[in-house]
C-alpha cells in the first residue's frame, strides 16, 4: 500500500517545528516513505549512518506523530535505500515500534539500546540486572576536581574483593556521571570476579519488580533473588520516595544484604539527608556508609570531556569550538556530549569543517537555553550578600580577613564561572593585578580542600549562581 503523502507532510511540518530548520534539513528532508503495510510504515534513507541516527533520534517521534495522524500506524521501519526498491532486507533495517527500549526521547534508554552487547562469560544476575552501557567504563570517565572523590570511591568499591564502604552512596545533579560510574563499577567487578553476582537496576525497575511480585503473590522469590546477589546497585533512589510498601521492602532487603556483608551502591540526585520523602530509618541507613558527591563540572573538566569524546569520535575539533561549547553548555555533561555529537554528525554527513560559525548555527536551540551570561557584578553581589559584606568592599583596598576572603571567593568564582581573563577579573575588583587574582584562585582551591564547611559555602554559591 502506498503511503499517504498528506499525512507525511503533516508529520514533517511538526518535525520541523520541533527540531528546527537545520536538523530538519539534515535528517528529515532526505527521508522517503516507501510503503505502508499492516500498520508498518517503511522509510528509506541514503546511508547506514543516517538510518541509525534517525532511528535513535527521530524514530520514536516520527512514529508517535504519525500514529497521531493515522492511528493504524504502529511501527516505523528505517532502511537504507533510494526509495525505489520495495523490500527491506533484515540486515539493513531498523524497526521502531512501541516498546520501551527504543523510546528514543529518553537518552538513557537510547544509550542502552545502542550499546553493543558484550559477550564472553555468562553473567550471574543478568536476569535481574538491567543492561549495562558498554561505553560507561572507568577508562571512559574523565576525572577532574569535581568528581575525583566519587571516582576514587567507585574505583575502590570495584577493585576490592571485600566490602569497603557500605553502602556507597553517590549523589549529584542530572548528567554529572552517576549512572556512568555505577555501570563502570559493574563492568569492573564482572571482569575481575565473574563469579560475583552483580545486579544493577534503576529504582523504578526495582519497584516495578516488587509490585509485580506482590501482585503475583510471589514476594518470597523476589526477596530470595535480591538476597542472593553479591553487589546490588540501585540507581536514582529518589524515585523510591513515597511508596510505603516498597520503601519498607527496600529497607529490609537493604538490611539483609548489609548484614550478610554484601556490597550496595546507590545513587540519587540529592544527599540522603535531603531525600525528604524517605522515612527516617531508611534515610539514616542510606547515609551510614560512604556518601560521595559529584559536584557541578568546572570549565577544565568540560574541556577534558570534550577532548576525550572528540577522540572517541575520531574527529579533530578546533580548540576554539571546544572552549565555546565548554563555556556555553555548563550544566549537564549529557548535553555537552550531545552538542559535540551533533556537530560531528553534521560535518560527516553534509561535509565542511567544524567552525565556530557552524557550531553557533547548528546548536542554536541548545545555546539559547544556556545563554544567560553570568556577569562579574552578579557574582560580586551574591557573594557579598552571602558573607554579609558591602558590595563596595569587592573593589576596596581593605585587607581585613572578613572582607578579603569573600573577595577572593568572588574572584575565584569569576574565574570558574565566566570566560573573563585574569587581568579582566583584576580590573573588575578595584584594579587589582592579575597575580592577585591568581593567588586568590589558588588560595580558595586550597581552602576548599582543607575546610569542608568552607567548601560547602563555595559549592552553594556556585550552584546558586549557575541556576
Ligand atoms: P547521571 O546519571 O548523573 O544523570 P550519567 O552518568 O547518565 O549522569 O551521565 C550523562 C552522560 O555524561 C553520559 O553519557 C556519561 O558518559 C557522560 N559523562 C558524565 N560525566 C562524565 C565524565 N566525567 N567523563 C566522561 N563522560 C561523562
Ligand atoms: Mg543517571
pLDDT of 88 above 80: no
Asked if residue 137 is part of any domain, the answer here is no
Give the pLDDT confidence score for residue 121 in this predicted structure: 36
- Same domain membership, residue 347 and residue 319: yes
Give the pLDDT confidence score for residue 85 in this predicted structure: 52
Give residue 450 CA to ligand 1 midpoint distance, Å.
Answer: 27
Range ranked top by mean pLDDT from 80-84, 86-90, 163-167, 211-215:
163-167
Tens of pLDDT, residue by residue over 65-76, are 898 888 888 889
- Same domain membership, residue 58 and residue 187: no
- Same domain membership, residue 154 and residue 60: no
Residue of 142, 171, 175 with the most ligand 1 atoms within 8 Å of its CB, for mutation: 175
Give the pLDDT confidence score for residue 329 in this predicted structure: 87
| Cα(422)–Cα(246) distance, integer angstroms | 53
pLDDT of 99 above 90: no
26 lines ligand 1 (CB under 6 A): no
Residue of minimum CA distance from atom 18 in ligand 1: 177
pLDDT of 97 above 70: no
Question: Which residue range(s) make up the domain with 391?
Answer: 376-466
Cis bond leading into 261, ω under 30°? no
pLDDT of 112 above 60: no
- Same domain membership, residue 160 and residue 243: yes
Tens of pLDDT, residue by residue over 355-391, are 888 888 888 877 766 555 678 998 999 899 889 999 9
Q: How much is the mean pLDDT over the chain?
A: 83
Give the confidence band of 463 by pLDDT, cuts at 50, 70, 90: confident
Asked if residue 335 is part of any domain, the answer here is yes
Asked if residue 171 is part of any domain, the answer here is yes
- Same domain membership, residue 438 and residue 365: no
- Looking at the CA of residue 294, tell me the nearest atom of ligand 1: 3
Range ranked top by mean pLDDT from 236-245, 247-256, 268-277, 393-402:
393-402
Asked if residue 341 is part of any domain, the answer here is yes
Give the confidence band of 109 by pLDDT, cuts at 50, 70, 90: very low
Range ranked top by mean pLDDT from 98-112, 361-375, 392-406:
392-406
Number of domain units in the chain: 4
Give residue 240 CA to ligand 2 midpoint distance, Å.
Answer: 14
Pairing label, strands 263-268, 168-172? parallel
Asked if residue 133 is part of any domain, the answer here is no
Which of the listed residues 294, 323, 351 is the one where a domain comes to its end?
Answer: 294
Which of the listed residues 369, 385, 405 is the one where a domain comes to its end?
Answer: 369
Q: Comparing 6-15, 55-64, 369-378, which segment has the lowest mean pLDDT? A: 369-378
The CATH number of residue 348's host domain is: 1.10.8.60
Residue of minimum CA distance from atom 14 in ligand 1: 334
Residue with cell 527540531: 19
Asked if residue 30 is part of any domain, the answer here is yes
- Same domain membership, residue 48 and residue 86: yes
Cα-based distances in Å from 266 to 9, 144, 166: 47, 22, 10
Please answer whether residues 206 and 234 qualify as being in contact, where contact means their C-beta atoms are separated by less than 8 angstroms.
Answer: yes
- Same domain membership, residue 108 and residue 20: yes
Asked if residue 122 is part of any domain, the answer here is no
Give the pLDDT confidence score for residue 243 in this predicted structure: 65
- Same domain membership, residue 382 and residue 358: no
- Same domain membership, residue 257 and residue 153: yes
Taking residues 263-278, what's their average pLDDT?
88
Residue of 307, 334, 339, 340 with the most ligand 1 atoms within 8 Å of its CB, for mutation: 334
- Same domain membership, residue 287 and residue 164: yes
- Same domain membership, residue 84 and residue 9: yes
The CATH number of residue 36's host domain is: 3.30.300.180
- Same domain membership, residue 252 and residue 165: yes
Asked if residue 134 is part of any domain, the answer here is no
pLDDT of 151 above 80: yes
Ligand closest to CA 239 = 2
Amino acid at each position: 500500500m502506498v503511503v499517504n503523502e498528506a499525512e507525511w507532510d503533516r508529520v514533517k511540518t511538526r518535525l520541523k517545528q520541533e527540531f528546527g530548520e537545520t536538523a530538519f534539513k539534515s535528517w528529515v528532508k532526505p527521508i522517503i516513505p516507501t510503503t505502508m503495510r499492516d500498520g508498518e510504515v517503511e522509510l528509506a534513507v541514503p546511508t547506514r549512518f543516517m538510518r541509525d541516527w534517525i532511528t535513535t533520534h527521530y524514530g520514536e517521534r516520527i512514529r508517535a506523530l504519525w500514529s497521531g495522524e493515522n492511528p493504524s500506524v504502529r511501527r516505523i521501519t528505517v532502511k537504507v535505500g533510494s526509495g525505489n526498491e520495495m523490500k527491506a532486507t533484515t540486515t539493513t533495517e531498523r524497526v521502531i515500534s512501541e516498546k520501551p527500549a527504543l523510546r528514543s526521547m529518553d537518552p538513557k534508554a537510547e544509550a542502552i539500546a545502542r550499546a553493543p552487547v558484550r559477550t564472553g562469560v555468562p553473567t550471574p544476575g543478568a536476569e535481574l540486572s538491567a543492561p549495562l552501557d558498554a561505553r560507561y567504563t572507568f577508562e571512559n570517565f574523565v576525572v577532574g576536581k569535581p568528581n575525583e572523590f566519587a571516582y576514587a570511591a567507585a574505583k575502590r568499591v570495584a577493585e576490592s574483593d571485600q566490602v569497603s564502604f557500605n553502602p556507597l552512596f553517590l549523589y549529584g545533579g542530572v548528567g554529572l556521571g552517576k549512572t556512568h560510574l555505577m555501570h563502570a563499577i559493574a563492568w569492573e567487578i564482572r571482569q575481575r570476579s565473574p563469579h560475583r553476582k552483580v545486579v544493577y537496576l534503576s529504582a523504578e525497575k526495582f519497584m516495578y519488580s516488587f509490585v509485580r511480585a506482590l501482585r503475583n503473590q510471589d514476594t518470597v522469590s523476589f526477596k530470595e533473588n535480591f538476597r542472593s546477589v553479591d553487589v546490588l546497585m540501585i540507581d536514582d533512589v529518589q524515585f523510591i520516595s513515597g511508596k510505603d510498601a516498597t520503601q519498607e521492602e527496600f529497607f529490609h532487603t537493604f538490611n539483609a544484604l548489609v548484614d550478610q556483608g554484601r556490597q550496595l551502591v546507590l545513587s540519587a540526585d540529592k544527599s540522603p539527608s535531603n531525600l525528604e520523602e524517605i522515612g527516617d530509618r531508611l534515610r539514616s541507613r542510606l547515609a551510614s556508609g560512604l556518601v560521595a558527591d559529584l559536584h557541578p563540572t568546572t570549565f577544565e573538566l568540560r574541556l577534558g570531556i570534550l577532548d576525550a569524546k572528540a577522540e572517541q569520535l575520531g574527529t579533530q575539533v578546533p580548540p576554539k569550538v571546544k572552549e565555546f561549547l565548554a563555556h556555553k553548555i555548563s550544566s549537564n555533561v549529557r548535553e555537552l556530549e550531545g552538542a559535540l555529537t551533533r556537530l560531528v554528525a553534521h560535518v560527516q554527513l553534509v561535509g565542511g569543517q567544524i567552525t565556530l560559525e557552524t557550531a553557533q548555527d547548528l546548536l542554536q536551540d541548545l545555546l539559547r537555553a544556556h545563554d544567560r551570561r553570568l556577569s562579574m557584578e552578579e557574582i560580586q553581589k551574591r557573594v557579598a550578600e552571602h558573607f554579609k559584606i558591602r558590595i563596595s568592599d569587592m573593589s576596596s583596598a581593605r585587607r581585613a580577613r572578613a572582607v578579603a576572603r569573600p573577595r577572593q571567593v568572588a574572584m575565584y568564582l569569576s574565574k570558574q564561572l565566566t570566560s573573563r581573563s585574569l587581568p579582566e577579573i583584576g580590573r573588575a575588583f578595584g584594579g587589582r593585578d592579575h597575580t592577585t587574582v591568581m593567588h586568590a584562585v589558588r588560595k580558595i582551591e586550597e581552602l576548599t580542600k582543607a575546610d569542608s564547611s568552607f567548601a560547602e559555602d563555595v559549592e552553594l554559591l556556585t550552584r546558586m549562581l549557575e541556576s
